[in-house]
Structure 1
Amino acid sequence: MEYFEDNPEIFAALVAAIAILGGLLGSVIGARIQANGGRDQAAAAREAAQIAAEAQRVAALWTVRQVQVAELIRTANALIEMCDRLWLAGGDELAGQLTAASAAVSSRWNEVRLIVTEKVEEAAGELARSAIAVEENSQQNAPVIHARNHLARIVGDDQNVANEIAEIVAADEDAQDRSRALCNIIPGLSEEHAYHYVAFHRISSMGIMQRTNRVRHDFNEALSALVREAREMLRAQDDVAPAPATQRRRWRHRSALLS
């Protein structure tokens, strides 16, 4: 201390040097802290962006799945409703519409299978197959029932005509020839009704109804299974859509900032 008292200019220079070194050290430490803080902020921003992007992807996928499955169900139900109308009314125009509606179900099924889970894919495929089975059964058997009902109304209780019809149906001839012969003895009978009556006379009406009830039951079962699997996939039991993962706060020890 006496040395510095005797040499105040040296003491002043030393104090100034210490102040400069302290300022430099403080600047280095401050810059280090600022740099680390900037890296943390950038990393946090990247993590937040990734979380937001993933949440957006999940939400978009959920929406597409929900829309596509619902549309498959809608087209399948529309096909079944048209089949019911065919049994009630019949007609070539409605039959053509059924073919188009069946193709729409197949198209929707191919779209659904690309984006859903494996269980929903299987359930959706079974729904499409069962709906098409209902359509095919309706196209084949509804005209037969219509023909039998129409012929029964024309013939009534005339047993002689009924015997003639039985002979024509049992004849060993081509179905087209037998249907034309049937039209010759029954005025007002269309060739379409005559053909369906003759060509499928071996199939009982009871057998047709049993087949129809079976394919319709299979469709209802497939529809219930798809709804059940789709609700599981879409987490329909949850009150809200699943929230994205919570962003973790980045706490770092002060000593790490200084390292």
Structure 2
Amino acid sequence: MYFEEHDAIFTALVAVLAIVGSYLAGVRGAKIQAKSGQDQASAARDAAEIAAEAQHVAALWNARQAQVAEFIRSVRELRRTSDHLFFSEEEGLLESAYNAYQEMHLRKVEIELTALKDVVDAADAVTKMAEAYWKYAHTGGPVMVADLALQQLGLGVDDYETMRAASRARRALTAEGISFMERRQALLDVPGLSRVHAARLALNTEDPGPSIEESKTAVGRLLDQKLAALVDVARTMLRSEDDVAPAVPPQRRWWQRASA
């Protein structure tokens, strides 16, 4: 054999093959390590994306929960401050009701920016009904306050003449065929009733007590219904019945993207 006769050449060839084999093995190993490094980097990016998305979903859920709660609180505060206008003319009540009205609208804008459409629509319905309640407090409230003043004068056990005048005025308010001027004069004849209160009652064509209270109750009932509807859709948006953490949208892993 040739290599048996030339063992020096054979020895040199074996050495060359060993070097070439070692080189090829190194190249393959480097490629495997590089591929492994790329896979690890891709997996790390996926993990970072999932974590960021989870944080975004959790932050959005928290924001929605807080904004709906604050909006409902502002509506209830508007109703509470509006209720005072039906029973008192104390200084500062009108300003308090207006401030509550402004805050409700601010809270509604926050909901419009983040909540689902069903929740935004429900909040809009609540806002309209709360506005109606607030506006009615400004029109019906002063009349009811004047009526309460007339009632108190009619109950004065120490002043019989005042009681009789208040009783006549009350009959004039509810009698048919009585003109505005006749009602006004009957009211002005009541000692202790202010001209402002007399004018308010004279302009009102119905018995103030029942008519205003019934209207106030009716608007309040509608507001309660709109609030209940808002709570229902908000609980659906927040998945309140699921008793689970906010869901993270599904992510495509690196091997799924590579095969796509």
TM-score by length of 1: 0.82
Question: 1:51-200 counterparts in 2 under 5 A?
Answer: 51-155=50-154, 157-158=163-164, 162=168, 166=172, 170-171=178-179, 185-200=189-204
Return the offset for 1:70: 0.6
Counterpart residue type for residue 51 of structure 1:
I
Q: Is the 8 A contact 2:180 2:203 kept in 1?
A: no
For residues 144-197 of structure 1, what are the alpha-carbon distances to aligned partners after superposition, in whole Å with 9 as ceiling and x for unaligned? 122123213324551697169839x94465x9xx86x56753332223322221
Return the offset for 1:128: 1.4
Structure 2 partner of 1:257: none
Distance in structure 2 (CA, Å) of the matches to 1:216 and 1:160: 30
Distance in structure 1 (CA, Å) of the matches to 2:9 and 2:111: 87
CA-based RMSD of the aligned residues comes to 2.9
Distance in structure 2 (CA, Å) of the matches to 1:25 and 1:199: 105
Note closer, same or farther for the CA distance 1:203–1:163 as it changes in structure 2 (3 Å cut): closer
Counterpart residue type for residue 164 of structure 2:
D
Aligned counterpart in structure 2 of residue 219 of structure 1, from 217, 223, 239: 223
Q: Is the 8 A contact 2:126 2:226 kept in 1?
A: yes
Note closer, same or farther for the CA distance 1:240–1:222 as it changes in structure 2 (3 Å cut): same
SS at match of 2:241: coil
Return the offset for 1:15: 0.7
Distance in structure 2 (CA, Å) of the matches to 1:230 and 1:211: 29
Q: Which runs of 5+ in 1 are unaligned?
A: 252-259
Structure 2 partner of 1:239: 243
Q: How many residues align?
A: 245
Aligned counterpart in structure 2 of residue 210 of structure 1, from 211, 214, 222: 214
Identical aligned residues as a percent: 37
SS at match of 1:158: helix
Q: Which runs of 5+ in 2 are unaligned?
A: 156-162
Note closer, same or farther for the CA distance 1:242–1:186 as it changes in structure 2 (3 Å cut): closer
Return the offset for 1:132: 1.7
Return the offset for 1:222: 0.9
